[in-house]
Amino acid sequence: MPQSVRGVVALKKGEPVSVETILVPDPGPGEAVVQVQACGVCHTDLHYREGGINDEFPFLLGHEAAGIVESVGDGVTDVAPGDFVILNWRAVDGTCRACRRGEPWYCFSTHNAAQKMTLESGQELSPALGIGAFVEKTLVHSGQCTKVNPAVKPEVAGLLGCGVMAGIGAAINTGGIGRGQSIAVIGCGGVGDAAIAGAFLAGASTIIAIDMDDRKLEWAKGFGATHTINAREQDVVEGVQALTDGNGADVVVDAVGRPETFKQAFYARDLAGTAVLVGVPTPDMTLELPLIDVFGRGGATKSSWYGDCLPSRDFPMLVDLHLQGRLPLEKFVSETIALDGVEAAFEKMHKGDVLRSVVVF
């Protein structure tokens, strides 16, 4: 029988979210019901509310979550009731062309639950990123559940489900930052600071944080930034070059996702360096670059999907690093809130007052 739980829903484009009664079906084959313990408020959820992803309203928001597996459907062997898991939105299928060529982090046929959660009226909900975790219990595909060490706090672990993993992966997996190299990160919100933390983990020697807010630049130092640039006061490209012997950085991560910031990333990298786009642009944005510069500067320009992560590999490793005291995930949690505080958290996020608000159940 379906369970009745409370969850945060975006009913119409641009309207404030509301807490509604959600019906969660029993798990079918390959599915799991997870009791959500914590879920971060990510900018992607706001994109959904504003219609920036698609128009498949109503949306059950939330996706950056951790919790306990309550029940599983037929054929599920990778997780069991009682397991502590981080939810992921790229559950690889193992058989698509990317998986077959040994690159499962690019999986083109990821799994989601087959059944739909609904409102009391029976209207089907579109779960954000195939998860929908601003809810007391959610239905997902079992492959979206990644077991990790239960010693980690849920409000910390859940952040690896999206923003923190995206940033760390952009620096390490996509950008390939290594020991002794230089990196610049444009935009020091949660994703940008995670890229800085990832670069610090990887042993980068010069880590340049770039933002227009001195408060955010100060936060970035806590994650390992060695230098800061206020983009309101200094030309970004010139500033990065000045800190890298006039060459530019080996890797530049654009965690904002706008044409102007990506151009800064492109020109602030060294010859044969790498520019990584991890900030999410809107569909109307376009980019124009002189083709001779694309050719002449060499190197690579890359987009980073979910930090090019493999959840089964990366989530447990990063949790262990956190528990060892080597990855300060707790610094990303600006506040913990109740389920009815999501709309206010969107406003704080928009103003740049928080790195992450986290709903705790």
pLDDT in tens, 127-161: 999 999 999 999 999 999 999 999 999 999 999 99
Nearest Cα to 167, choosing from 305, 27, 22?
Answer: 305
Q: What percent of the chain has pLDDT over 70?
A: 100
Q: What is the mean pLDDT of the chain?
A: 97
Average pLDDT over residues 222-228: 98
- For 258-292, the pLDDT digits (tens) are 999 999 999 999 999 999 999 989 889 999 999 99
pLDDT at residue 350 is higher than 90: no
Average pLDDT over residues 34-52: 95
Give the pTM: 0.96
Phi–psi pair at 354, nearest 5 degrees: -135, 155
The pLDDT, as a whole number, for residue 8 is: 98
Domain ranges across the chain: 3-161+328-360, 167-305
Q: Give, as one character, the DSSP assignment of residue 177.
A: -
pLDDT at residue 110 is higher than 90: yes
Average pLDDT over residues 106-134: 97
**Alpha-carbon span 206 to 182, nearest angstrom:** 5
The answer as to CATH 1.10.3720.10 being correct for domain 3-161+328-360 is no
Average pLDDT over residues 221-226: 98
Average pLDDT over residues 334-355: 95
Q: Where are the alpha helices (DSSP H) in the chain?
A: 43-49, 97-100, 154-157, 163-169, 190-202, 214-221, 236-242, 259-268, 291-297, 311-323, 342-351
The pLDDT, as a whole number, for residue 282 is: 84
The CA–CA distances, whole Å, from 209 to 215, 219, 262 equal 12, 10, 15
Question: Do 189 and 352 touch, CB atoms closer than 8 A?
Answer: yes
The pLDDT, as a whole number, for residue 238 is: 98
Higher confidence at residue 350 or residue 327?
Answer: 327
Phi–psi pair at 42, nearest 5 degrees: -105, 150
The pLDDT, as a whole number, for residue 50 is: 92
The pLDDT, as a whole number, for residue 315 is: 98
Q: What is the dihedral of CA 290, 182, 276, 111, to 10 degrees?
A: 170
- For 235-261, the pLDDT digits (tens) are 999 999 999 999 999 999 999 999 999
- For 164-208, the pLDDT digits (tens) are 999 999 999 999 999 999 999 999 999 999 999 999 999 999 999
- For 308-339, the pLDDT digits (tens) are 999 999 999 999 999 999 999 999 999 999 99
Sequence length of the chain is 361
**Alpha-carbon span 110 to 34, nearest angstrom:** 19
The CA–CA distances, whole Å, from 134 to 17, 165, 224 equal 11, 19, 31
The pLDDT, as a whole number, for residue 345 is: 97
CATH fold label, 167-305: Rossmann fold (3.40.50)
**Alpha-carbon span 255 to 194, nearest angstrom:** 10
Helix (H) or strand (E) holding 145: strand 145-147
Phi–psi pair at 246, nearest 5 degrees: 80, 5
pLDDT at residue 18 is higher than 90: yes
pLDDT at residue 39 is higher than 90: yes
Gyration radius of the chain's alpha carbons: 20
Question: Do 248 and 271 touch, CB atoms closer than 8 A?
Answer: yes
